Amino acid sequence: MSIKDEVIEQARKAKEAARVLANTPTDKKDNVLLRLADKLEESVEKILAANKKDMEAGEKSGLTRALLDRLELSEERIAGMASGLREIVQLEDPVGEAVKMWRRPNGLEIGQVRVPLGVIGIIYEARPNVTIDVAGLCLKAGNAVILRGGSNAFNSNRILAEIITEALVAEGLPGEAVQLIQTTDREAVEVLFKLNKYLDVLIPRGGAGLINKVVSESRVPVIETGVGNCHVYVDAAADLDMALNIVFNAKTSRPSVCNAAESLLIHRSVAGEFLPRLYKLFEENNVELRGCSDSRTIEPGINPASEEDWGTEYLDYIMSVKLVDDLEEAVNHIFKYGTGHSEAIVTNDYTRANYFLRNIDAAAVYVNASTRFTDGGQFGLGAETGISTQKLHARGPMGLKELTTTKYIIRGNGQIRN
């Protein structure tokens, strides 16, 4: 069977499975997630063995340390995946929720209720934890899902997908509810783009290149996620110790993810005190700073930044830095170069904090906290299928409700329209 035929057949089976899931009781869906969590913990050695193959291949191919960190699984990370599934179980099932109901003068009773999206396609790069996070959320929200992971994580994704299938079948649900594309050939992605007969939505998770390709070429509706040129602005009224901790965390705790900060803006009045402390801390941790000429006057060891740097999502241990005269200049810079993901201000001035909250147009806007909190788990959503940076249907971390739509139900007793 050709790659095209295989992918079409997977999509057809997913469509059938979605019909079953849409009417599956909450307790049965929860049982799948609990069984899956148990199976992950029971299969640690098997998962780590598969991940080791991916890590060795990644090292040979020259992946950066940030991307290797993104790819790597550990006992702790597998335990975290299992814990995330159990958190999803504790969340309220959105399917069937009555959003609103009302009665018309002619006696018609109209209600708007939540229903699953249907079949969701996820195209993602080297993060095997996404396989479990997405499966858990999609299943709880009554959706079937087709996963197309990156080639760097193929062995890891395959073993995780097998474990998911085992959990589904053991609870009497169709194994086709969660399927992994069984090839790394790019032709499979091209086929997915055209399957609007079977897929209800495509969600890309990865770098700008992947997301732009999906948005520009897909016939299936796309929820745009991920690209994160996130900024931290250190205001004149900032607590500099707090600012140092926030910037360091936002950049280095996991630089390969979309909520990591890539750009730093510093008010000139505090740059002379703050920047040398930050430079020393970054140098000790092998983080490169690329800065404007004024920042380099303060710290000559900072590499010069180009115009391209202001708009770059590095996903690495690199950060651009620019000095600004005031809050308005910082906001204008973010407006020009930001991607609408996550932006933060560090300040003890209430008025400036509110100005920043009002004027920054992003999915998540922070005062005195790291951008790294833009995450479904950190927001109490259990996990997320991605961070939506668009404005229609979903914005920010996409949890259970964002994986549903609504339909109207109308009850009458013989009414006809005049």
pLDDT in tens, 383-418: 777 888 887 888 888 889 999 999 999 999 999 998
Based on the fold, state whether residues 16 and 151 are members of the same structural domain. Answer: yes
Based on the fold, state whether residues 272 and 360 are members of the same structural domain. Answer: yes
The mean per-residue pLDDT over the stretch 114-142 comes to: 94
Q: Which pLDDT score is estimated for 333?
A: 98
Q: Quick: pLDDT tens for 374-383.
A: 988 888 887 7
**Percent of residues, the chain, with pLDDT higher than 70:** 100
354, pLDDT greater than 90: yes
Higher pLDDT, 216 or 207: 216
- Please report, for the chain, how many H helices and E strands are present, in that order: 14, 16
> What is the total count of domains within the chain?
2
| Chain mean pLDDT for the chain | 94
How many residues can be counted in the chain? 418
226, pLDDT greater than 80: no
Distance between CA atoms of 209 and 63, rounded to whole angstroms? Answer: 17
Q: Quick: pLDDT tens for 74-91.
A: 999 999 999 999 999 999
Based on the fold, state whether residues 124 and 236 are members of the same structural domain. Answer: no
Report yes or no on 59 lying in a domain: yes
DSSP notation for 36-83: HHHHHHHTHHHHHHHHHHHHHHHHHTT--HHHHHHH---HHHHHHHHH
Based on the fold, state whether residues 107 and 89 are members of the same structural domain. Answer: yes
Closest CA to 148 of 195, 116, 85, 89: 195
Q: Which pLDDT score is estimated for 126?
A: 77
CATH number at residue 96: 3.40.605.10
The mean per-residue pLDDT over the stretch 123-131 comes to: 89
User: How many alpha carbons fall within 13 Å on the CB side of residue 77?
Assistant: 18
Q: Token digits for 403?
A: 């994986």
Based on the fold, state whether residues 331 and 213 are members of the same structural domain. Answer: no
Q: Token digits for 294?
A: 């004024």
Would you call 242 exposed, middle or buried from its count of C-beta atoms within 10 A (0-12, 13-18, 19+)?
Answer: middle
Q: Which pLDDT score is estimated for 83?
A: 93
Sign of CA dihedral 65, 70, 72, 73: positive
Report yes or no on 388 lying in a domain: no
Based on the fold, state whether residues 195 and 244 are members of the same structural domain. Answer: no
Report yes or no on 312 lying in a domain: yes
Q: Which pLDDT score is estimated for 406?
A: 95
Would you call 379 exposed, middle or buried from its count of C-beta atoms within 10 A (0-12, 13-18, 19+)?
Answer: middle
- To 5 degrees, how large is the angle CA 347–CA 350–CA 355? 85
Residue range(s) defining the domain that contains residue 357: 230-373
Based on the fold, state whether residues 127 and 267 are members of the same structural domain. Answer: no
Q: Which pLDDT score is estimated for 153?
A: 94
Please give the order of strands across the beta sheet that includes 230-234: 303-304, 288-291, 318-324, 261-267, 230-234, 342-346, 364-367
Based on the fold, state whether residues 218 and 113 are members of the same structural domain. Answer: yes
Q: Which pLDDT score is estimated for 43?
A: 97
Distance between CA atoms of 348 and 344, rounded to whole angstroms? Answer: 13
Based on the fold, state whether residues 61 and 148 are members of the same structural domain. Answer: yes
Strand partners, 265: 233, 322
Report yes or no on 358 lying in a domain: yes
pLDDT band at 184 (very low <50, low <70, confident <90, very high): confident
Based on the fold, state whether residues 158 and 301 are members of the same structural domain. Answer: no
284, pLDDT greater than 80: yes
Q: Look up residue 308 and give its amino acid.
A: E
Q: Which pLDDT score is estimated for 383?
A: 73
Helix-, strand-, coil-residue percentages of the chain, each rounded to 5: 45, 20, 35
Report yes or no on 390 lying in a domain: no
Based on the fold, state whether residues 244 and 214 are members of the same structural domain. Answer: no
pLDDT band at 265 (very low <50, low <70, confident <90, very high): very high
Based on the fold, state whether residues 18 and 51 are members of the same structural domain. Answer: yes
Q: Which pLDDT score is estimated for 356?
A: 97
Report yes or no on 240 lying in a domain: yes
Q: Which pLDDT score is estimated for 64?
A: 85
Closest CA to 335 of 359, 365, 308: 359
CATH number at residue 351: 3.40.309.10
Q: Which pLDDT score is estimated for 377?
A: 81
Regarding beta strands 342-346 and 230-234, do their DSSP bridges make them parallel or antiparallel, or are they unpaired? parallel
Q: Token digits for 274?
A: 């703050």
Report yes or no on 386 lying in a domain: no
Report yes or no on 384 lying in a domain: no
Q: Quick: pLDDT tens for 247-262.
A: 999 999 989 888 999 9
The DSSP element (H or E) to which 190 belongs, if any, is helix 187-193
